[in-house]
Amino acid sequence: MRRTSLILLLLLAACQQAAGPDQAGGGADTPSASGLERAAIESGVVADVGKISPVGLFQQRHEAGRDMLCIVPGRNGTLHFGLEAIFGAEQSCHGQGAARRAGDKLVLSFGGRDQCIIVAQYDGDQIALPGVVDMKCADLCEGRGSLEGVSFPRIAGQAGPAFAARDRAGESLCAPD
């Protein structure tokens, strides 16, 4: 009985030691990636999000309307974006501003006096806004619309379709600099 308990205790300690370095995020390219995820990235099985440009058009249609986000290159390597989320006839959100990358995050700073900043998750194929956004962002919306939890799947990875994106009024969503 004691011998079995000792063996189990040693196995448990060995498992914890083996898991330690991966939990610490020792990878240089993707600090939060597990060992398996880093290996998949290095072998090319999984794309390295840090190397995928967010420039392009992201859009999703649903029963209540359409959510669209365009990201275009600006001067001096900056990124500009425009977004529109439509939730019905009198419920929508609309805004434009500057974007910047921060690892697997995309920081969206809306222009204007509102000072709305949203830190979105970016995985290369989709941009997902968090479930809770700053109260200052409410001014971007009409009716009961909200940007909370809105996601935008990528439909084009080039600047051309992003520059061509139009809001529901027919205005350019991502006008060039």
Instruction: Give me the percent of the chain exceeding a pLDDT of 90.
Output: 48
Q: Could you tell me the domains of the chain?
A: 2-46 (no CATH), 51-164 (2.40.128)
- Cα end-to-end span (Å), the chain: 75
**What is the mean predicted confidence (pLDDT) over 169-175?**
90
Residue 23's pLDDT band, with cuts at 50, 70 and 90, is very low
The pLDDT value given to residue 9: 47
Instruction: Please answer whether residues 53 and 158 qualify as being in contact, where contact means their C-beta atoms are separated by less than 8 angstroms.
Output: no
Q: DSSP assignment of 62-98, as one string? A: ETTEEEEEEEEE-GGG-EEEEEEEEEETTEEEEEEEE
CA 49, distance to chain mean position in Å, is: 10
